[in-house]
Amino acid sequence: MKGQTIYKILNAKVKQYEQFGFIENDPIVVPHLFSQKPDIEIAGLFAAVFAWGQRLTIINKCKDLLARMDNAPHQFVLQHQDSDLKRMLGFSHRTFNDTDLLYFITFLKQHYQKHPSLEAAFSRDVLKTAPTVEKGLIQFRNYFFSLEEAPVRTGKHIASPLSGSACKRLNMYLRWMVRSNSEGVDFGIWHKIKPAQLVCPLDVHSGRVARKLGLLHRQQDDWVAAIELTENLKQFDPKDPVKYDFALFGMGVEGEM
């Protein structure tokens, strides 16, 4: 398929899927429940980390968790008492359980006691001249597990390029926080990372479509493949290649390819 044809297909599908009618059944709808930046960040982080399996189940699990936090995640993270944490016991989503949840809350409390935003946790090692957010993702995982009480089992829920992971969920989270668009789907509330530095979230849906369009040749859905896909998308929009995540995922999940 010729490049110009792919370009027309992708841009048409971005217009089709980058709108609220499509995201009402997508995990990004969870942070859209909030208007304050820290609440958006925290709700978005959990929604991204839980983004594994059926989308409706993910959304419902997020709403369950947020209800346990009185639907005020930032306030809960900073002001909860030990007795409040009892409400977290028994929570689970697939392999994510209450042990993982309690550590997430511990980390978030320590971070927000020192910083007004989670942006600093991802952007510190991302230079303006860096081609991607790779070092930011590596640094975030190191920072996230820097507390002495970090459970070994929780490590599987925060990926890193160092392990070869495509880091689909964290790249999706960064897309939500960094990109801004006229439709208001992504939030665009972080500014230290540029949209051009984002890496396209790669999963079974987007990978299948990308391979059929000739945008991805590597067969494994790993970090190398995520970079290959992103670099190929830059030929269509070097400043905002990840906008095509809407097209690839949308076509994949709707079975258009």
pLDDT band at 1 (very low <50, low <70, confident <90, very high): low
Give the separation between CA 142 and CA 135, rounded to whole angstroms.
11
**Which tokens is 24 given?**
């009402």
**Which tokens is 147 given?**
């507390």
Find, among 40, 185, 53, 172, the residue nearest to 117 by Cα: 40
Give the separation between CA 31 and CA 176, rounded to whole angstroms.
9
Give the separation between CA 208 and CA 44, rounded to whole angstroms.
26
Cβ–Cβ < 8 Å for 122, 136: yes
- Check residue 70 and give left, alpha or beta (phi > 0: left; psi -120 to 50: alpha): left
pTM above 0.85?
Answer: yes
Find, among 133, 125, 124, 105, the residue nearest to 194 by Cα: 133
Give the separation between CA 179 and CA 193, rounded to whole angstroms.
9
Find, among 73, 168, 156, 68, the residue nearest to 112 by Cα: 73
Task: State whether the Cα torsion 132-134-137-143 is positive or negative.
Answer: negative
pLDDT digits (tens, 9 = 90+) for 2-54: 778 999 999 999 999 998 888 888 999 999 999 999 999 999 999 999 998 89
- C-alpha triplet 12, 16, 20: angle, nearest 5°: 150
In angstroms, how far is CA 41 from the centroid of its own chain? 10
- C-alpha triplet 180, 182, 188: angle, nearest 5°: 15
Position with higher pLDDT, 20 vs 112: 112
Q: Calculate mean pLDDT across residues 142-160.
A: 97
Q: What is the pLDDT of residue 14?
A: 94
Distance in Å from the first CA to the final CA of the chain: 14
Q: Exposed, middle or buried, 146 (CB in 10 Å: 0-12/13-18/19+)?
A: exposed
CA torsion, ordered 3, 246, 219, 94, to nearest 10 deg: 180
Q: What is the pLDDT of residue 122?
A: 97
Q: Exposed, middle or buried, 90 (CB in 10 Å: 0-12/13-18/19+)?
A: exposed
**Which tokens is 235 given?**
């030929």
pLDDT digits (tens, 9 = 90+) for 165-216: 999 999 999 999 999 977 889 999 999 999 999 999 999 999 999 999 999 9
**Which tokens is 208 given?**
């299948």
Give percent of the chain with pLDDT exceeding 70.
99
